[in-house]
Amino acid sequence: MTKEMIREMIEQNGVQTPCYLFDVDELTDRVRRIQEELAVCGSGLCFAIKANPFLIPALDAVIPKYEVCSPGELEICRAVCIAGKKIIFSGVVKSEEDIRTALAYPVETITVESYRQWQLLKECAAEVDRKTKVLLRLSSGAQFGMERETVLQVAEELKAVPQLVFGGLHYFAGTQRKGCKYEKELPMLAELMGELREKYGADDMILEYGPGLPTPYFEGDSFENPFEGIQNLAAYIAAQRYPFRVNIELGRYIAASCGHYVTRIVDCKTAEERNYCLVDGGIHHVVYYGQNMAMRRPIVHHIAAGEPDGEEQEYMICGSLCTFADLLVRGLPLRNPQIGDWLVFDQIGAYSVTEAAYLFLSRNLPAVYLYSKEKGIRSVRDSVAAWEINAGKLETYVRK
Ligand SMILES: Cc1ncc(COP(=O)(O)O)c(C=O)c1O
């Protein structure tokens, strides 16, 4: 989506700001390209919906699997009518009720992250008369997953539960990872898959693998080949000729590039020889992994309501929170920015909409819009009042 398209959209459609604008055509094109690359190694693609659940309906025609990581995420899937056969229900904490709800959905696949989760799953599965696939999450050294011995023990015990089918391993060790960490992880995982296959003889086992492929966000990052990460990974997997399928689980790499954050300049001033633009949004809506006090500069476009004139000058772009931390961009070169102009932040499609610190200062949550050539711009969430959440149950403590 070009800057001109965004200008047209916000001028002609009266969009509320601040808002997120997700370009569905860009998203689905990207997913198709990722899948073309993965065809080289026969891998399927799974979208980790925590990155951006607003994209699920748009993705449904092109994405075969979703990683769904909490009861709330499962409710979103239910609300937008996602078939259970597409769902891998994961999560480091799963209560008995969560597991029961997932089995009743019914999801096709559920992960096990601890021996305690296994015990709960075993009990809950005994109450249903359908089969559910189980992926055992191997620990990468943090709170997630189980150590190798526990994985082997659970795989052994799984044989005794007719409602559960051993489906393979789940592994995710981190996000926005630089370098080819998979060159170390995949041989280790392949070795364990081999042992499991030998002992439990399941031919259709899969390795559900989240490589945490990185996304460029800032000036100086490489935007040249947006598919380099997946090409290299697919080529590596293809060369290994594994006797099992590796499915690739991604969030950021799928969703980041389709998103723009639009915020309006609401005040301009100069103090101590520094120029400031104050915007109606702020850092409570924007999450760029690796950003800290605007030390790096994201890709930002200025859309002037009138004709911008004059020399470029540097501006501090600050949000509407009462904290020094609300600095979105340091020293952004702009030509005569005015109140009413817009600033558009790129690469915002992953995690900003789910991970941002929305409640601080009780300002509203941003509106959300989807855009496609076919359907134009559609509002999928109005701005939401945060104050009501922060006010709590008024009837319990406000005197009438
Ligand atoms: C289990 C799991 N899979 C996949 C992902 C997606 O990671 P990324 O956005 O880096 O692709 C996450 C992110 O936290 C995760 O926890």
pLDDT digits (tens, 9 = 90+) for 115-128: 999 999 999 999 99
pLDDT at 46 over 90: yes
Ligand 1 pocket, 349 CB below 6 A?
no
Write the single-letter amino acid at 309: D
Boundary of a domain, candidates 255, 273, 305: 255
Ligand 1 pocket, 67 CB below 6 A?
yes
pLDDT at 201 over 80: no
Determine the Cα angle at 279 with ends 277 and 284, to 5°.
125
The whole-number pLDDT of residue 32 equals 98
69 C-alpha to ligand 1 centroid (Å) = 10
| Smallest CA separation from ligand 1 atom 14, residue | 175
Termini Cα distance of the chain: 52
Q: Are residues 207 and 88 in the same domain?
A: yes
Ligand 1 pocket, 251 CB below 6 A?
yes
Q: Are residues 243 and 103 in the same domain?
A: yes
Residue 399 placed within a domain: no
Q: Are residues 87 and 214 in the same domain?
A: yes
- The whole-chain average pLDDT of the chain stands at 96
| Closest to 48 (Cα-Cα) out of 79, 70, 32 | 70
pTM of the model: 0.97
C-alpha span between 183 and 62 (Å, rounded) = 28
Strand positions, DSSP E, the chain: 19-23, 45-48, 65-68, 87-89, 109-112, 132-137, 164-172, 206-210, 245-250, 259-271, 274-279, 300-303, 312-318, 327-335, 342-345, 367-372, 376-381
146 to 83, 111, 112, 170, 318: CA distances (angstroms): 28, 11, 8, 10, 44
More confident position, 15 or 104: 104
The whole-number pLDDT of residue 231 equals 98
Q: Are residues 12 and 143 in the same domain?
A: no
**Residues 6 or more apart in contact with residue 282 via CB below 8 angstroms:** 18, 263, 318, 319, 320, 321, 326, 328, 363
Domain encompassing residue 177: 24-255
Question: Residues 3-10: what's their mean pLDDT?
Answer: 88
Q: Is 223 helix (H, G, I), strand (E, B) or coil?
A: coil
Write the single-letter amino acid at 248: I
Residue 400 placed within a domain: no
Under 8 Å between Cβ of 277 and 318: yes
Boundary of a domain, candidates 255, 277, 300: 255
Q: Are residues 87 and 53 in the same domain?
A: yes
Residue 282 placed within a domain: yes
Taking only the tens place, the pLDDT of each residue in 221-280 is 999 999 999 999 999 999 999 999 999 999 999 999 999 999 999 999 999 999 999 999
Residue 397 placed within a domain: no
Q: Between β-strands 65-68 and 327-335, what pairing exists: parallel, antiparallel or unpaired? A: unpaired
The whole-number pLDDT of residue 1 equals 84
Helix, strand, coil % (nearest 5) of the chain?
35, 25, 40
**Which residues on neighbouring strands pair with residue 221, listed in sequence order?**
none
Ligand 1 pocket, 253 CB below 6 A?
yes
pLDDT at 400 over 70: no
Residue 398 placed within a domain: no
| Smallest CA separation from ligand 1 atom 3, residue | 210
In this prediction, what percent of the chain has a pLDDT beyond 90?
Answer: 92
Q: Are residues 313 and 230 in the same domain?
A: no
Q: Are residues 242 and 277 in the same domain?
A: no
133 C-alpha to ligand 1 centroid (Å) = 20
| Smallest CA separation from ligand 1 atom 15, residue | 172
Under 8 Å between Cβ of 377 and 9: yes
C-alpha span between 68 and 48 (Å, rounded) = 7
Under 8 Å between Cβ of 49 and 83: no
Q: Between β-strands 19-23 and 259-271, what pairing exists: parallel, antiparallel or unpaired? A: antiparallel
Q: Are residues 93 and 80 in the same domain?
A: yes
21 C-alpha to ligand 1 centroid (Å) = 22
Q: Are residues 226 and 293 in the same domain?
A: no
| Smallest CA separation from ligand 1 atom 2, residue | 172
Boundary of a domain, candidates 234, 255, 276: 255
Q: Are residues 337 and 191 in the same domain?
A: no
Pocket test for ligand 1, best of 67, 138, 172 (most atoms within 8 A of CB): 172
Q: Are residues 160 and 80 in the same domain?
A: yes
145 C-alpha to ligand 1 centroid (Å) = 14
Ligand 1 pocket, 90 CB below 6 A?
yes
Taking only the tens place, the pLDDT of each residue in 294-316 is 999 999 999 998 887 889 999 99
Q: How many separate domains does the chain show?
A: 2
C-alpha span between 107 and 145 (Å, rounded) = 20
| Smallest CA separation from ligand 1 atom 16, residue | 172
Provide the CATH number for the domain around residue 116.
3.20.20.10
